[in-house]
Amino acid sequence: RIPTTKAGINPGVLGALAAGALAGWYFYSGEPTPSRDSWRKVNFHNVYKDIAALLEDEDYDDGSYGPVFVRLAWHASGTYDRKTGTGGSDGATIRFKPESGHGANAGLDVARACLEPLKKKYPHISYGDLYTLAGVVAVQELGGPTVRWRPGRSDEKISANCTPDGRLPDAAQGANHVRDIFYRMGFNDQEIAALIGAHALGRCHSNRSGYEGPWNASPTSFTNFFYTELLEDKWVPKKWDGPAQYVDKDTKSFMMLPADIAFKTDPQFRKYVEKYAADQDAFFADFAPAFTKLLELGVKFPEDAPVYEFKTLE
């Protein structure tokens, strides 16, 4: 039997698509580039269900595409610069080189390739809407809070408006760098501390970011474990040939990035870390609006664009 995801897609096909993306070409549905009003022709409840059906795949990573979908939505949106009004998810320039090849985006070709069949199934959805909705689906279906989302992003047709490299956080840096990146987008310390909690999901890969390992023992569940692990474990430098990172002293099974440790050592960030470690509901309540804000940065939505609060699948 040929293995497939829940949506009936052969993972081998996904691998071929990813290989194609790495070779420098990309996939288009053959339909005209969606306009800002094309979303009116899309049933987003059906899109949500189809994305959710893609999540589980025992042959990929820890068994779920959810973490890489969240990362795709984050990186497609987190390039926004409020001073210049450039970047963000509108335009979906992350699918073009050179932006797709920026170091911080290594491995996201896997997520884009996984979602490409849905772009063909729903040709009127923009890539910007598809990528951000995938992040919402992943957060919710992996146990996180309900995240409000609305459609209306348009797509750039060419790579001319790709954002410059360096707009996404550098994991090797500390609190000042983290603030510089997020303040540029318009976030405050509380929102920054809430967003970093998404590091409960997934793991780092040495062949992508250079770092290696999961943040906790449940990398496919959206929890407050990032905060509890950060505070409760003793973190020591990892002894290896890779970039500087930390591992838990007792088991050396989990890791933290230098930028993660800043949330423990910086007094302003730490007060939120302590709050969220003690109260997962408080974390969820703060994460959801911060994530919605991130996904909407720089987007000029139509006035009548509906706001969705999707129900998770039973």
pLDDT of 20 over the 80 cut: no
Task: Yes or no: say if 305 and 152 are a contact pair by the CB < 8 Å rule.
Answer: yes
Percent of the chain whose predicted confidence (pLDDT) is above 70? 89
pLDDT of 233 over the 50 cut: yes
Q: What is the mean pLDDT of residues 48-68?
A: 97
Residue 34: pLDDT band (50, 70, 90) is: confident
Q: What is the pLDDT of residue 110?
A: 97
pLDDT of 278 over the 70 cut: yes
Residue 311: pLDDT band (50, 70, 90) is: very high
| C-alpha distance from residue 67 to each of 13, 29, 212, 302 (Å) | 20, 25, 15, 29
pLDDT of 23 over the 70 cut: no
Residue 261: pLDDT band (50, 70, 90) is: very high
Residue 234: pLDDT band (50, 70, 90) is: very high
Q: What is the pLDDT of residue 41?
A: 95
Q: What is the pLDDT of residue 3?
A: 39
Q: What is the pLDDT of residue 36?
A: 67
Q: What is the mean pLDDT of residues 36-51?
A: 94
Q: What is the pLDDT of residue 141?
A: 98
| pLDDT one-digit tens code per residue, 206-230 | 988 999 999 999 999 999 999 999 9
How far, in Å, CA of 298 to CA of 285, rounded?
23
Q: Which residues are catalytic?
A: 75, 215
| pLDDT one-digit tens code per residue, 194-205 | 999 999 999 999
| pLDDT one-digit tens code per residue, 132-146 | 999 999 999 999 999
pLDDT of 272 over the 70 cut: yes
Residue 29: pLDDT band (50, 70, 90) is: very low
Q: What is the mean pLDDT of residues 154-166?
A: 94
What long-range pairs does 1-6 form, CB within 8 A, spacing at least 24?
A: 3/59, 5/53, 5/54, 5/56, 5/57, 6/53, 6/54, 6/55, 6/56
Q: What is the mean pLDDT of residues 47-73?
A: 97
Residue 132, burial from CB neighbour count under 10 angstroms (0-12, 13-18, 19+): buried
Residue 32: pLDDT band (50, 70, 90) is: low
Residue 66: pLDDT band (50, 70, 90) is: very high
pLDDT of 27 over the 60 cut: no
pLDDT of 276 over the 80 cut: yes
| pLDDT one-digit tens code per residue, 73-131 | 999 999 999 999 999 999 999 999 999 999 999 999 999 999 999 999 999 999 999 99
Q: What is the pLDDT of residue 26?
A: 41
Q: What is the mean pLDDT of residues 229-252?
A: 97
Mean pLDDT score of the chain: 91
